[in-house]
Structure 1
Amino acid sequence: PVNTIAQALAEPQTVARDLIVSVEHPVFGTVRSVASPVRVGDEVPPAHRAPQRNEHADAILRGLLNYDDARIAALAAEGAFGQPL
């Protein structure tokens, strides 16, 4: 079966393996989640929240693709970035 997040957080094996982490989310505050089960030695990989929609759009469009304001505005007018949250 596929567990929901709540079921996964309550799973005895998740608790025993210390896989429950808390991450800060800009909208929802502190959110509990399941950490990566992949470990190398005693290293615990850092937990990060998922990016918000379009959070990195400006850096990608301007920095990687060299789009200017006019091109970005045209894309926005066509609905390329969806509706604001």
Structure 2
Amino acid sequence: NPKMSIDDVTIRWSEKKSPFFTVGRLTVKHQIIDFDKQYDSAENLRFSPWNGLVVHRPVGALNRLRNVVYPIVAKYRYQKRGLKY
């Protein structure tokens, strides 16, 4: 459907035809933080929605671009901290 393209991010989708819905919730419980250890752990994390099941991979041109950009940014952050990627 050209009016609901996953490749053209300039087209606004009809919320009547494609309403938002909750697919899950993420709850983070209160933690007591040892700042230095927690900071290092957080700084060493990498996120990519492409690290899941193939059927759950993002779709569309913008997400394919993210698959290229995210590793470049992660590598840059690691190198800035003197770490191996």
Please give the range of the TM-score, normalised by the shorter of the 2 chains: under 0.3
Structure number with the higher strand fraction is 1
Higher helix share: 2
* TM-score for both structures, normalised by structure 1: 0.23
TM-score with structure 2 length normalisation? 0.23
